Chain A
């Protein structure tokens, strides 16, 4: 597979009052493993259950309860690592991250600190055709999600629901290689796309299956390059971490606000405090999180209730062999095999279902035409009616049939759109519908000529005008098409009209 070539996008520059500033962004994306049960207990991960019902004694940290790891979750972390071309660690260790919070029943989160299951990898964030950022992945580790605290049900109390407690998360940690709000959103989009291709996370941001903590700092021009050369973070500015973002739009807004906030502080002669902040989408600003202000001292140590997680290279290879084709490869292949533009290839490969649909349509047909029909007619319509591609009323075979009829010259592009409408609302085999409803294009020159003659005869004044003004010919063509209910071959009509009017 020949990979597509990319150039790096320019970093986002914000002009302050005194100076120009560049953004430096690193992300920790928490992706919920698409497992049925939790990382260390057999309770369900289903969303939206009654409070504290998807909770086992282990999740509630009852005295004497012990964790037992879910094999599927381990496999998904490895699969994700392979999908991000990352190094897989055959031995990793679960640590306890100790802190107190009401929705953290154990008083510690089981996570992986020094020895994560997945090491360094890479994500290509494509910004526009030919332009992409290679974001380095530092690590992926498995950890437990916390529960949920609800603060608005009672004036004096917070209410705790442990349904999410212990759900498996993959924390995907990037290097600070993201250079702007749009890149940040595209990074999350790309990660989500890859995870969904792999099937390791459903990527549902509304339900919290994918959340991001965003680390933002600003620096003057040239500083970032120095950091990349030396690996020395002191070239970068002090970063603030914006917690728990679950919308691409809010990620962009929060970064934009946060960068400007930091620039204002620095230009005012102040210093940015390293802290955790929350984004308030209503006010459009970030604010310091009081509860997390205290100095972090998580007292990590290996969880003595668990043994090191070890597996063989052969097991990893087995998972590797089962990986699907991933977005970058698929996109390059679509460009190469189907001759579609890079842009269209991006649209078509946005997710596996769409890509599969396109391939089923394009197989053995003109790729570009298939892409046009799939993107403009089908995806457009699906989008408008909020219908998932899996429930498309028009199947790939039907759409392929429409394209075949156009190719054979049986129908015109315009009739094809009518046919598409019929297939969408009523269904049926395209060729049979065309036959049954007499939609076939008229290619019989005699019949077309008769129609042309009829139109000319009915409009003698226009005929005269047209002889002086050849562009009027188009009006006659339209009239003929109307008279034949669009079934006449437009090229044949045009030629005959011009011939009979004696214009070129």
Chain B
């Protein structure tokens, strides 16, 4: 099994998903089965092969520097779970 409980906890921490202790072994098993399965990629000879960066080769279009957006505070806050005085409010962040 390639993924142990500790790895699941670490990935969950990185992904900011709370995982109950009792769910960790099950998840470890599922992730292991997925990762063991993708492991077959190690058979492929990728020596000297460029990793893909854009699937359909195109130039990155650039826009001109003009203010064309903004001034929509109402829309920005419209779906907020907690908005106050024009701000999004979240539980206190300690720096």
Contact = CB atoms under 8 A, between A and B. Distances in A.
Bound pair (A, B): yes
Interface of A: 35-37, 41-44, 50-58, 60, 68-74, 93, 98, 100-102, 149-151, 153-162, 278, 289-291, 294, 297, 299, 302, 306-310
A278 B59 CA distance: 41
A170 B89 CA distance: 29
Contacts of A60: 76
Contacts of A162: 76, 88
Interface stretch (B19-27, B33-41, B79-87): B79-87
A159 B88 contact: yes
A306 B87 CA distance: 29
Given A72-B64, A158-B89, 10 more contacts: A37-B69, A41-B69, A52-B76, A53-B72, A69-B63, A158-B91, A159-B84, A159-B85, A160-B88, A306-B60
A70 B72 CA distance: 20
A60 B82 CA distance: 15
A-B pairs with the 3 shortest C-beta distances? Answer: A42-B68, A72-B65, A71-B62
Contacts of B64: 70-72
Contacts of A150: 87
Contact of B63 (A68, A155, A158, A307): A68
A407 B94 CA distance: 66
A310 B87 CA distance: 38
B50 to A, nearest CB: 11
A269 to B, nearest CB: 30
B53 A291 contact: no
Interface in B44-71: 53-54, 58-71
B73 interface: yes
Nearest to B86: A51
B65 A44 contact: no
A36 B76 contact: no
B90 interface: yes
B39 to A, nearest CB: 20
B74 to A, nearest CB: 10
A37 B94 contact: no
B20 to A, nearest CB: 20
Interface residues of B, number: 37
Contact of A37 (B16, B68, B82, B91): B68
B93 A73 contact: no
Most chain A CB neighbours (cut-off 10 Å) among B13, B60, B70, B88: B70
A233 to B, nearest CB: 26
Contacts of B12: none
B84 A310 contact: no
A102 B14 contact: no
A168 to B, nearest CB: 9
B59 A310 contact: yes
A157 B90 contact: yes
A182 to B, nearest CB: 28
Contact of A44 (B13, B16, B60, B67): B67
A71 B85 contact: no
A102 B75 contact: no
Most chain B CB neighbours (cut-off 10 Å) among A57, A158, A162, A306: A158
B18 to A, nearest CB: 13
Contacts of B76: 52, 55, 57, 60, 162
Given A72-B64, A307-B60, A278 B88 contact: no
A70 to B, nearest CB: 5
Contact of B89 (A69, A100, A154): A154
A174 B94 CA distance: 29
Contacts of B60: 69, 306-310
A307 B65 contact: no
A70 B90 contact: no
Given A42-B63, A307-B58, A56 B69 contact: yes
A158 B77 CA distance: 16
B86 A52 contact: yes
Contacts of B61: 68-69
Given A37-B67, A42-B68, A102-B88, A149 B93 contact: yes
Given A52-B77, A102-B93, A297-B14, A35 B87 contact: no
A157 B54 contact: no
Given A159-B89, A290-B95, A291-B94, A74 B62 contact: yes
Contacts of B75: 57
A268 to B, nearest CB: 27
Given A36-B67, A42-B63, A73-B65, A56 B72 contact: yes
